[in-house]
Amino acid sequence: MRTAIITGANAGLGLQCARALLHVDPSWHLVLAVRDPARGAAAMQELGQPNRCTVLRLDLASLESIRAFTEGVKTAALPPLHAIVCNAGVQVVSGIQQTVDGFEMTFGVNHLGHFALLQSLRGLLTTPARIVVVSSGTHDPSKHTGMPDPAYTSAAELARPGISGDDSDAGRRRYTTSKLCNVLFTYELDRRLDRGAHGITVNAFDPGLMPGSGLARDYPPLQRFAWRFLLPALRVLPAVRSTSTSGRHLARLVSDARFHGVTGRYFDGLKPTRSSPDSYDSAKADDLWQTSQHLIGPPVV
């Protein structure tokens, strides 16, 4: 048996990835890393294989919760850890919110929380191991997704932005910028792991537009209605996918032998492709890494 950790595994893409992993490979034991253990327990029952799942609380908006989660993984008598899926995410459009540590919520959860989590868990990985970071096509202005273009200024400013002129577009821009951070982080982590030379691969994943997912929960009522009931009709378009389809794709990146040794890539579904020009900016990647390391403090030992 081997363990895979999936953040945000109680619903949406994370739940569908868990379902697919359990179905395609009986060797996986899953850690459902969730903010609400009761919802995690419900998800475990829905998956129907409670003997192959462990629910552990993880709030990516709290560095203390990340430290406690890491300790929980160490003491849970799990099979060796071979995969981590950084899936959980938020989109906040109703004004600036902060994590318990004082960071802007979208950056704090979508990037910094996962950065801290991987820094804590890297020493627990057993090779060969795979890390998959869920990003989004909204990080790339050339895709014309209807979302504001990302605006990477500096990681320090993203962590603690000013509040003047804040509106829903600013909130959506913080989201697309956090998704750019996901790709920058993926490539920089891969570089620092010597591009798979030590048996750990790192890839970014674009699940496509998934109507009905929970990312629109902070939108105004009319936009939430459209996201839930009108956008699903667009699934005939190639970039629009159900959570179940994208969950199966994500699970294959975790487990399929076809992707053994593949690292430092950006996948649109199962298709490796180029990410945005900004995502290859080594100066931005270094700034993001160095600032993130400073913000989270010394690593857990």
Whole-number pLDDT of residue 94: 80
Average pLDDT value for the chain:
90
User: What residues form DSSP beta bridges with 12?
Assistant: none
**Least confident window among 54-58, 74-78, 141-145, 162-166:** 162-166
Q: Which of 152, 175, 187, 266 is catalytic?
A: 175
Whole-number pLDDT of residue 260: 97
Whole-number pLDDT of residue 145: 82
Q: Mean pLDDT over residues 217-244, rounded?
A: 52
Whole-number pLDDT of residue 121: 97
Position 237 confidence tier, pLDDT thresholds 50, 70, 90: very low
Residue 73 above 50 pLDDT? yes
**Least confident window among 112-116, 155-159, 168-172:** 168-172
User: Could you say which of 3.40.50.720, 3.40.50.920, 3.40.140.10, 3.90.550.10 is the CATH number of the domain covering 2-296?
Assistant: 3.40.50.720
Residue 220 above 80 pLDDT? no
The reply to whether 266 belongs to the active site is no
Domain ranges of the chain: 2-296
Q: What percentage of the chain reaches a pLDDT higher than 90?
A: 81
